[in-house]
């Protein structure tokens, strides 16, 4: 079993008409140790800021690319309210972080 993870959801949208179209999301699990260390070093920043800073630009680009849409213009950081045990194999793993792709239902 790996190290305990802290989970957050990232919702990707694109401009398609008058309103943004939600195209998919990722649940991201970051080991609690680096997240706690970041929060100690930046006590005034919230969890969203910690996730934004602990996920690399290459990881963000990999998530965008896997969704297969152009012009992903909006990114929302949302607390993950699901059960981690329901997540199956991650879509990809990077530096101890785990990423699960969830496509938007039609």
Please check whether residue 59 is in contact with residue 94, taking contact to mean a CB–CB distance below 8 angstroms. Answer: yes
Tens of pLDDT, residues 81-94: 888 888 889 999 99
What gap in Å lies between CA 9 and CA 24, rounded to an integer? 10
- Domain around 17: 5-103
Model confidence pLDDT, tens digit, residues 28-54: 999 999 989 999 999 999 888 888 899
Provide the token pair at 43. 């006590």
pTM: 0.82
Total domains in the chain come to 1
Residue 1 binned pLDDT confidence (cut-offs 50, 70, 90):
very low
d(CA 64, CA 85) in angstroms, rounded, equals 25
- The two structure tokens encoding residue 47: 């969890």
């Amino acid at each position: 079993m790996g190290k305990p993870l802290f989970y957050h959801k990232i919702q990707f949208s694109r401009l398609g008409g008058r309103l943004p179209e939600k195209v998919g999301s990722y649940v991201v699990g970051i080991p609690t140790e680096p997240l706690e260390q970041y929060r100690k070093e930046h006590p005034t920043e919230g969890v969203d800021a910690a996730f934004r800073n602990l996920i690399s630009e290459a990881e963000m680009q990999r998530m965008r690319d896997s969704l297969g849409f152009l012009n992903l213009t909006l990114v929302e950081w949302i607390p993950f309210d699901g059960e981690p045990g329901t997540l199956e194999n991650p879509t990809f793993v990077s530096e101890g972080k785990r990423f699960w792709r969830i496509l938007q239902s039609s």
